[in-house]
Structure 1
């Protein structure tokens, strides 16, 4: 098989592993089982996974669990020991250390604040002001899209699957752009029925393959709100956009879904530095 064909075949096998990890976040890491999912020898699977993804399978599982924990701390009323156990830690102290290393703040303090940066007032979340939102004319973007079903805060695992598909095809270069398209209101639709797409930009020569389809994110006039911080806090940014800015803007939303563009790398930067543009299409 040509080298490019081998890379693509390896990517498909690693994608199966990433999907398996996402579906079994609450189970212990079984590297032999993962090697079987990928149909690689256990003697070589770990090196292949790290070479293809840039991290170990344990790193992927730890990162996805901590991202879920951050969402639970912001949104849910679960007790800290339960969140620690779901994240794979035997004690709250161990979870606190791991969360603090990743997020730069203790989980209890993160829960009290509801975000990495405390609100400007003690009792009210700041609204998005006219100065926070920029009206921009955006060009249409051609992307490869992989559907995600379920909580929006769990779409990271679908991006990992998309990366396993795109990497061997040479689509993860420095000029690649990453988007999430969100079709439903998470306050109105049950979490298990939420629809979204994880997307990466592609050229005209790229075609869909299997679960990956080619779509166009429409251009036009958009209200853009830049969010800095963990993805678990994006819902608060949406509330500020819709509650604080849109009603006073004199603008009407278009009949197209919102999307997000992820401007830097969540694998190499601390969550406090993650940048996301929330793009609301306007009529």
Structure 2
């Protein structure tokens, strides 16, 4: 599905390393702070900054994130957490259910199958996952992948 998304403000904790490990570490650092600040019921996302096909696993950057109001301020005890704004624009979206071991394959399917036949291509900007459930206990996540795109 191709859609227009508005800007989104998030509080993020940056991690570097293989996504399978580093993203979990990012949420382990972000979650207690977010819950203490009443953000536990907000949208949870991971923003990805590097193409895993072009970047070595140990150099891959990702931001474990939680949505906040555009006027939100970090306050005290926010070490390592920064505010950022995801850009508005045209995004390809893919809603799926993924077990914790198959995120990479689900992204591959999204890009190589669904996006390839859409008439759009990645524009090199934002790429993120939005989690619709807390799959930490079951290992199964309902997720929407978003990839900033432009018409071909």
1:102-181, aligned counterparts within 5 Å? 134-154=1-21, 155-172=23-40, 174=41, 176-181=42-47
For residue 267 of structure 1, report the CA deviation from its aligned partner: 3.4
Q: Is the 8 A contact 1:143 1:200 kept in 2?
A: yes
What TM-score results when the alignment is normalised by the length of structure 1? 0.49
List runs of 5+ in structure 2 lacking aligned partners.
none
- Cα offsets for 1:142-183 (capped at 9, x unmatched): 1101001111111112112101111212221x3x00110111
Is the CA contact (8 Å cut-off) linking 2:15 and 2:62 kept in structure 1?
yes
| CA deviations over 1:86-115 (Å, ceiling 9, x no partner) | xxxxxxxxxxxxxxxxxxxxxxxxxxxxxx
Q: Is the 8 A contact 2:87 2:126 kept in 1?
A: no
The whole-number CA distance in structure 2 between the counterparts of 1:246 and 1:266 is: 25
Higher strand share: 2
Deviations 1:57-78 (A, max 9, x none): xxxxxxxxxxxxxxxxxxxxxx
Q: Deviations over 1:205-227 (max 9, x none)?
A: 32373211000111221111112
Specify the alignment match of 1:282 in structure 2: 149
1:247 Cα deviation after fit? 3.0
Aligned match for 1:211, one of 80, 93, 102: 80
**Secondary structure in 1 aligned to 2:53?**
coil
Aligned: 1:221 with 2:90:
yes
Aligned residues: 146
SS of the residue corresponding to residue 259 of structure 1 reads strand
**Larger relative helix fraction:** 1
State the TM-score, normalizing by the size of structure 2. Answer: 0.87
Aligned twin of 1:43? none
CA RMSD of aligned residues (A): 1.7
Task: Name stretches of at least 5 consecutive residues in structure 1 with no aligned partner.
Answer: 1-133
Query: 4+ runs of 1 displaced by more than 3 Å?
Result: none
Higher-Rg member (1/2): 1
* C-alpha distance in 2 between matches for 1:214 and 1:152: 21
